[in-house]
Every structure is written in C-alpha cells, then in structure tokens.
Structure 1
Amino acid sequence: MQIDLTGKTAIVTGSTKGIGLASAKGLAQAGATVIVNGRTRAAVDAAVVAVTDAVPGASVSGVEADLGTAKGCAALVEAVPRCDILVNNLGIFGPHDFFDISDDEWTRFFEVNVMSGVRLARAYLPGMEATGWGRVVFLSSESALNIPADMIHYGFTKTALLSVARGLAKRMAGTGVTVNSVLPGPTLSEGVADMLKSEVDKTGQSLEEVAAGFVMAHRPSSIIQRAATVEEVANMIVYACSTQASATTGAALRVDGGVVDSL
C-alpha cells in the first residue's frame, strides 16, 4: 500500500515530541504539507528540524500556541486557516489519587485533552466539508476503556474523546470527511522514558527491557508484552489519514498491544 498525501495540509497538535512528532514525520513521508505545534518557539523549531532531517525536502512549518486555551486555539486557526487533516494529538497525563485532585486540575485536564480537539474540529471541519474531503483523528487511549485507578481524571478525558469522535463522524456523514479515534496502549515516548529513567539507572537494563517489565506489571493483559514504539502508533494515525481509509469512520482504532481484553 502506497499512501500518498501530496497536496494535503496536515496539522498535528502537541507534535514537538513523542507520538505527535512521529506522526508529523509519517505524514510528511507520505507527502503532506505538515504543520507542527508546541507551546514554545524553541520546541517548535526543533520539531521542524527533526521532521526535515527525517524527511529531506519535506514541506513543514510550525506554530507556537498553547492549545490548552481558547486563545491558543484561535491563534493556530488564525495562522493556518484551513487544513485537510487534523490530528488532535495534544494531551497531558499524570497519576494522582482521586481524592487529591482539585477542581482546577480536573478543569485543566479537560481543557487540554478534550476542549483543544473540540475547538479545532469546530474550526476546521466546515472547510473540509466544503471541499468534500477531510480527516480528523483524536488521540484517545486504552485508558479510555481500562480506566486507571490512579488516573481517573485522565481516563475520563480519553473516554470523552471517543464520544466526541463518534458523534462528529455521524455529524459529518456523507461529506467525504472521516473522524476516528486512535487508542494507543503503553508507548515508549519521551515522557515514559523519563518516568522509567531511575529504574534504568538502578538496574542497568535497557530502556526497552525496563519498559517491558513496567507493561507486564501494570498492564498484564498486554499481548505483545512490551511497550509500543511511537512509530508503531504513528503508522495507524497515518493510515487513518489516508485516502485508503475512506470507509473507516466513527471507529476506535486500537494500537494497544492487546491490552484491552475484549473482542
């Protein structure tokens, strides 16, 4: 299968590292014009360099904006008024006991993880409908289905994304625009690597070995019995954005390594 997105403009939010950056590289490799996003100019510039290093000749630019706010979303839309592909990758996570989470923290997670995607989809979907083609992908998580006891506030936001994506797919019925969710499982992103660094230092094991041990301790239902790479998750995102995925919409596409124990 040759995915060709030449002539398409793709925005990937929160794309200065991790799954977002890998997705930006994958979309650029497929020929799309890619806009990366982050909160600081330095991070955005570094991401642009990373994409062009990985894909020489890529058409890539960056927009500095904090999409966890309505103002930041408006700034992105002003800088890039239209797109063909929107990958709502931006998200935050972190373990906290339910009884220690303040109202402000609940609101922060909702604004960043849910409302950023809601605001951008509301801004860009009408343009996609007008042209008769578009792709929107929301980055959910296996935690949307397996709500973590230590991250209830995070799981809640990822479940919300499934509802938004499914509803929007129905709203865009018959327009040539698809809306899907991608559900990664444990993934060896920079954030996870930082979390596991002390264990790597202590044991002398490789990062991949420590990550596999973490997965089996905390997600024992994993079938691949290791953390996925960011590229493996990005592969699913790029496919969902392709012309070949024209009959896939309203779907929750799992890249969870088999963690979710259901058919």
Structure 2
Amino acid sequence: MDFGVTGKVAIITGGGSGIGYAIAKTFHDEGAVVVINGRTPSRIEAAAAAIGPRAHGVVADLLTGEGARTLADHAAALGPVSFLINNIGVFDVNDFFEVSDERWIEYFEHNMMTAVRITRIVMKDMLARDDGSIVFISSEAAIRSIGNMVPYSVTKTAMLGLGRSLAELTRGTSVRVNSYMPGTTATESVATYFADLARQQGKTVEETLRDFYKEVQPSNLTQKLIDPIMHGRGVLQLATNTAMNGVTHRADGGTVRSIFG
C-alpha cells in the first residue's frame, strides 16, 4: 500500500530510540526523508545511520527555543515539512507526595513544552502552505490515570488537550492534528524497568511481566508488551489518513475498556 510519503520530510522528535525510532524507521522505509533529534551527537548519528540513507540526525535540545529552531531549520532545508511527530517524553514510577515542584516542572518541560516549541514553528508554515500533518504521541495513561505515575498521566492528558485544541486551528484547511495513545511497549526503557523490578522481587522478567498483567493490567486483552514497530505502522496510518483530524487513536492492547478510540 502506498501511503504517499515518498520524498516528503518527516520530523520525529526524539526518534533515536524506542517508539520514536520505530516511527522514524517506518516512515523512512515507506520512502520519506526522516529527521530525528537528540542531545548526544554519537547516539543520534548512530540512530540515523541505522534507520537508513534518508535519515538525518540533528543535535537539538527541544527544552530550549533555540533547539526547536535548529531542528525546524535543518528539516526545512531538506524540503517542506509534511509530517511532525511529537514523541519526546519521560516517565518514572513515583510517590505523588514525594514529587518535588522541580520534578513537576521537568515533566511539563519534557512532555509538553518540547512539543509546543517545535509545533509552534512547524505548524505555522504548514498552515501557510495549506498542507501538513501533526501527531502527538500521548499514552493510554492519559485516560487510564495511574496513581504511581501521576505527573506522567497528567502531562499525557494535557497533551491530548493540546492536540485537539490545535486541530481547531486547522478548520477549513488541509492541515491535520491528531493524537496517538500507545500502551505498555517493549522499548529499551520499559525493558530496563521490568528487569530492575524483577531483580527487586527475586523473580524472572517473564514472571514479573505475567504478574504485571495479572495484577496491574488485568483488562489488557493481549497480555503482553507491544512491539514498537506496531506503533510505527499505526502512527504512519494516522498521519496520512486525510479523514482523521482532531482525533485520538488508541493502541493499548485493549487495556482501556472502551468501544471508542
């Protein structure tokens, strides 16, 4: 199936690992020119090389306005940006009563403001050209609020509001803004989390995962971690489907008991 991305420029923020890497790889393999960013030159260069010959790694920190401008300018030099996938985010398990104000601010800076800064630049050009598609990578935690991940859940909920609000600005244009909610995925960071948890509990990783789905996510229908490449395919479809604007696509293995999304 031709998704119509051949030769088009796609920015995938934080696309050097995990879900972002899978998205970048999927766009690249479908023919797009892919631009990813990171803060460590060696890591971002290695990721771009692994993705393929049309992938460009840019050292740019979206925690700053300067970094957002650097990324946007590099991508624009390759051609009009047709796709922007806001993927940067952080998570950890924590005690709400112990999370400092500073850590809350860090969550908003990483999970919200990185997306705001680059979108503010790229979306304005998309509207001027009357062409473009933006996807915010949120999480199933946005609607399945998690008590031991409160800052993460709250910022991912806010991201859904940001995506829908920006979609309102596209009325009557060919620009679209959507959100995507992945469930627990077999990324490097998630693998590290479960490996550490298994050591703490004196169990194997397999036993820890089995208990996780039994006790924490019993409603999950697949009862296993999601392969990141599935999100690459899902985001590509969402980003290119012109019938979808202002919507949230849920890909959580059925954890959230809902007939919508």
TM-score, normalized by the shorter chain, greater than 0.5: yes
1:50 shift after superposition: 1.4
- Structure 1 residue runs of 5 or longer lacking an equivalent are 53-57
Q: Measure, in 2, the Cα distance between the counterparts of 1:256 and 1:103.
A: 30
The residue number in structure 2 matching 1:160 is 158
Match of 1:79 among 61, 66, 74: 74
Q: Measure, in 2, the Cα distance between the counterparts of 1:205 and 1:260.
A: 24
The residue number in structure 1 matching 2:124 is 126
Match of 1:59 among 26, 47, 54: 54
Match of 1:222 among 208, 220, 223: 220
Residue type at the aligned position of 2:14: G
1:213 shift after superposition: 4.0
Matched, 1:252 2:225: no
Superposed CA deviations along residues 78-117 of structure 1, whole A, max 9, x for unmatched, are 3334511000000000011111111111111001100111
1:4 shift after superposition: 2.8
- Please list every run of at least 4 consecutive aligned residues from structure 1 whose deviation after the TM superposition is greater than 3 angstroms: 198-206, 209-213
1:135 shift after superposition: 0.8
What does 1:1-263 align with in structure 2 at a 5 Å threshold? 1-52=1-52, 58-81=53-76, 82-198=80-196, 203-204=203-204, 210-242=208-240, 245-263=241-259
Residue type at the aligned position of 2:73: E
1:200 shift after superposition: 6.1
CA 1:45–1:171: 2 relative to 1, 3 Å: same
CA 1:172–1:252: 2 relative to 1, 3 Å: same
Q: Measure, in 2, the Cα distance between the counterparts of 1:178 and 1:11.
A: 15
- Structure 2 residue runs of 5 or longer lacking an equivalent are none
% identical aligned pairs: 37
1:7 shift after superposition: 2.5
Please say if residues 140 and 159 of structure 1, whose CA atoms lie closer than 8 Å, have aligned partners that are also in contact: yes
Q: Would you say how many aligned residue pairs link Structure 1 and Structure 2?
A: 254
CA 1:96–1:198: 2 relative to 1, 3 Å: closer
Residue type at the aligned position of 1:136: I
70-79 vs 246-255, which deviates more?
70-79
Structure 1 length-normalised TM: 0.91
CA 1:231–1:170: 2 relative to 1, 3 Å: same
Q: Measure, in 1, the Cα distance between the counterparts of 2:17 and 2:235.
A: 15
1:8 shift after superposition: 1.0
SS at match of 2:156: helix
Q: RMSD between aligned alpha carbons?
A: 1.7
CA 1:219–1:204: 2 relative to 1, 3 Å: closer
Please say if residues 142 and 260 of structure 1, whose CA atoms lie closer than 8 Å, have aligned partners that are also in contact: yes
Q: Measure, in 1, the Cα distance between the counterparts of 2:14 and 2:218.
A: 29
94-103 vs 64-73, which deviates more?
64-73
Please say if residues 212 and 227 of structure 1, whose CA atoms lie closer than 8 Å, have aligned partners that are also in contact: no
Q: Measure, in 2, the Cα distance between the counterparts of 1:25 and 1:15.
A: 9
Residue type at the aligned position of 1:3: F
Superposed CA deviations along residues 193-236 of structure 1, whole A, max 9, x for unmatched, are 11122466754565xx7545423332111011111110111111
Structure 2 length-normalised TM: 0.91
Please say if residues 215 and 227 of structure 1, whose CA atoms lie closer than 8 Å, have aligned partners that are also in contact: no
Q: Measure, in 1, the Cα distance between the counterparts of 2:34 and 2:158.
A: 27
